[in-house]
Structure 1
Amino acid sequence: MAHSGISVLLEGTNFTRLLGGLWVTVKIAAIALIVGIVLGIILGVLRTFKNRPLRLILRLYLEFFRIVPTVVLLFLFYYILPRQMNFNLPADQLATLVFALWVAAEMSDIVRGALISVPKHQRESGMAIGLNRYQLYRYVLIPQAISLEIPATINLATRVIKTTSLLMLISVMDVINIGQQIIEANNHSHPTGVFWVYGLIFLFYFLIDYPLSWWAKRLEKKRLERANG
């Protein structure tokens, strides 16, 4: 029976299809992270300005993507907005857009938190030597904030990768969707195939997420050691 189950992975193009689905998952997560991090850095810097209306709008943007479940956002962008706004994009592109906007919201809070954590005297010293706002952020605040941002950013990346498991709900051919198709097609001939297919999918996610999680913890530990002398 065990041999019958694992043979599902080796039959035909099943394993290749799973790798293809994994590539779709990684591609969506990677593009969303790149776009979202860049946008999030800009929004995070803007959130430190003293412009109240701007800060309120960006705060509402953050809270919207924090409060609304990701699955609801995916359904909103996939089923409702295309009909209301009369546009049609492939499911994988819509998913990338949703994840990028979510990452941007979360990243803006990470950047804002890191920037306001820079000691006040550093800001005052920069202004005292005549730096303008742009120079202050470029040469003083952002370089010091980066060490605070990196562990949180890596943790955000692991969350994004894990949340891609929802992509199958909007018909994206990700690794889980393809795995489910393989299971359904071989359910009668290989009843234990489900354990091997999902076991392999678990291994894929583990091999991607665990090193990132370990790296984030290591960086945070080093940062605390430096802070404590």
Structure 2
Amino acid sequence: MPITGYRVLFEGNNLARILESVLVVIKLSLIALVIGLLLGIIFGIQRTSSFKPLRWLLQAYLEVFRIVPLLVLLFVFYYILPEALGAEVGNQTVSILVFVLWIAAEMSDLVRKALENVPKSQIEIGRSLGFSQRQMYQVIILPQGLPAIIPDTLNLVTRVIKSSSLLMMIGVPEMIRVGTQVIENYAVTVPTASFWVYGGLFCLYFALCYPLERWAVKLSAKYAAQ
């Protein structure tokens, strides 16, 4: 019986390969997010310091990762890093490294803005109580500033998941790359293969990102009402 329509998704190991590609996206995104968000918080705190050279350096770092397209950064690191290190660097390692640096840059700006928006009156109270700079951050600035950036952080998470599709360009077996390979196997025999495969990938991306987007909206409304 010839394969038609949606059946292409369930032919052979096609579904298993697609689901495995989803796990690759989740794994790479989680690793990059855990490291990148932590670094971003540290960099964001440093961007509020009184040491101007450090602030300028971190600002320059942010501008590089905002101005240069992520795909270009992936290519640069993928082709130049092995040459610089004199050793082979896997495409997933490159992916994690670039995403960590990108996430940390974006997160640092969110943290900086949040910390600078902490009411000055609260800081003055801390000073009047004799708090050190470290105690000010631990007791007043961080607890008041960081919760407000949770919605924007969730939006950053969805951007990371969606941007993972770029990893196909350096050979990472993520969802779009695997889906395209499946379609190529049925390009002649199943003319509608692209519709069903890409349609399935659309549903998977939607399932990954929509709950995070709705959560971010609810939290934004909650903080706006406070």
TM-score, L = length of structure 1: 0.96
2:223 is matched with: 223
2:20 is matched with: 20
1:90 is matched with: 90
SS of 1:131's equivalent? coil
Gaps of 5+ in 1: none
Q: Distance in 2 between matches of 1:27 and 1:216?
A: 22
Q: Distance in 2 between matches of 1:24 and 1:87?
A: 24
* 1:1-229 equivalence runs, <5 A: 4-226=4-226
Opposite residue 168 of structure 1, the aligned amino acid is M
SS of 2:4's equivalent? helix
Shift of 1:134: 1.0
SS of 1:83's equivalent? helix
Shift of 1:148: 1.2
RMSD of the alignment, in Å? 0.9
Q: Distance in 1 between matches of 2:25 and 2:190?
A: 26
Give the paired residue count: 224
SS of 2:61's equivalent? helix
SS of 1:57's equivalent? helix
Q: Distance in 1 between matches of 2:28 and 2:93?
A: 8
Q: Distance in 1 between matches of 2:57 and 2:38?
A: 19
Q: Distance in 2 between matches of 1:38 and 1:47?
A: 14
Shift of 1:81: 2.2
Deviations 1:27-83 (A, max 9, x none): 111111110000000000000001000000000000000000000000001112212
Shift of 1:191: 1.1
Shift of 1:130: 1.0
TM-score, L = length of structure 2: 0.97
